Amino acid sequence: MPPSLLITGAAGYIGSHCVEALIRQASAYGLQGVQLHLLDDLSTGHREFLEKLCALAESHRLPRPVIHEVSLTDRPALEQALKQARPEAVLHFAALISVAESVQQPDRYVRNNVEGSQNLFRAMQKSGCQRLVFSSTAAVYGNPAGAHLPLPESTPVGPVNPYGETKLAMENAIAEAAREWGLHSVIFRYFNAAGASSSGLFGEWHEPETHLIPLLLRAAARGEKLKVFGSDYDTRDGTCVRDYIHVEDLACAHLLGLKALRAFESQGAAAQVFNLGTARGTSVLEVIRAAEAVLKKDLGRGVGYDIHPRRPGDSAVLVADSARAREILGWEPVHSSMENILRTAWEWERR
Ligand code: UDP
């Protein structure tokens, strides 16, 4: 029997890129003939992405993916989807992801992210699926005062916004499921996902958009000014420092994580946690300058910006030590130069 995989949040930014990589590299990862089940409630994801993924799978001689338009908050529908899919593993991307929105609507984030994930894990248990790859975030580290940069996975957690708190609660639910019924998992703590697929099929598309790079590119294209949130942080130029990682490098980590899950099983059920980043921090002003270099030819002008007050919930510096992913998974970020991130994001924005 060819394997089956269920992907939640497949119509979203990172989910769609990972499914694209799964389809293109199925054979290389021992997933010949894989039957994909794409689950999304389309509250923030895009039907268009699902349609493109279905066409792509068929053009790669894979079975047409099964679409489950299901919310994680709908337990019976979720259980039905798992029962039908009988997946070998679940890749769980679906979540609300805006820091700013989570500060305004924390309860919605708990309902959707934490309770939704608990529903998913219960449905997995019921259907006998014991393998999970989970999307977590650097936001679980919060403001790691006194910690050495870049941050290894052993850095004490301490989220500073409700989004990070919900992701940490989901990680804790995974640990509980490991103890209670032997769930095997890989947890990826992404730093700042950015960039777009080199195929041009997928890219960053959030409504409303809150992330730096797409907002910067849009502002530049319209000749408007980007709002820079805070210039009084304790960083080299006063603006926040982040570790931007290309979404195609994240996708590659998922393929390696899926493969490694089988090997981890012999080592017991504890979750395997990996930071995914480049160990390189870039400040907001440095991103603006790098964007000017990429856009110069197309726009013939610089990128304007204004300094605004700090955005609630922002950490000053988040930079990843990903040595563990390199050593254990053999992962290497190869698409994540700031130039490639900005160029692919710009090509996507122009479409
Ligand atoms: N940022 C900014 N202006 C914007 C959007 C973001 O100055 O319009 C800053 C934000 O305060 C943070 C960094 O850019 O310091 C990255 O923010 P983003 O929302 O992209 O990712 P986050 O780190 O919050 O996950």
Ordered by where they begin, the domains of the chain are 4-194+245-277+319-329 (3.40.50.720)
User: Where does the pLDDT of residue 147 fall: very low under 50, low under 70, confident under 90, or very high at 90 and above?
Assistant: confident
Q: What is the pLDDT of residues 302-322, one digit of tens each?
A: 899 999 999 998 999 999 999
- Residue 239 CA to ligand 1 centre (angstroms): 10
Provide long-range contacts, Cβ within 8 A and 24+ apart, for 59-64. 60/23, 60/24, 60/26, 62/23, 62/26, 62/33, 62/34, 62/35, 62/36, 63/2, 63/33, 63/34, 63/35, 63/36
Spatial CB neighbours of 340, under 8 Å, sequence gap ≥ 6: 195, 246
From the CA of 161, how far away is ligand 1's center (Å)?
Answer: 14
In angstroms, the Cα distances linking 91 to 2, 129, 216, 242 are: 17, 11, 30, 25
List, in sequence order, the alpha helices (H) in 182-224.
212-222
Predicted confidence (pLDDT) per residue in 257-298, tens digit: 999 998 888 888 789 999 999 999 999 999 999 999 999 989
Catalytic residue among 109, 141, 163, 233: 163
Q: How many angstroms separate the CA atoms of 338 and 350, rounded?
A: 18
The binding-site residues of ligand 1, defined as CB within 6 angstroms of any ligand atom, are 99, 192, 210-212, 215, 226-229, 240, 242, 284, 311, 314
Given this model, what pLDDT does residue 46 score?
98
Alpha helices in 135-246 (DSSP H): 162-181, 212-222
- Ligand 1 pocket test: pick from 14, 136, 239, 284 the residue with the most ligand atoms within 8 Å of its Cβ: 284
Indicate whether 135 pLDDT > 90: yes
170-206: string of b/e by CB count within 10 Å (b at 16+)? bbebbbebbeeeebbbbbbbbbbbbbbbeeebbbbbe
The verdict on whether 163 is a catalytic residue reads: yes
Q: Best substitution site from 225, 242, 289 to test ligand 1's pocket, by max atoms within 8 Å of Cβ?
A: 242
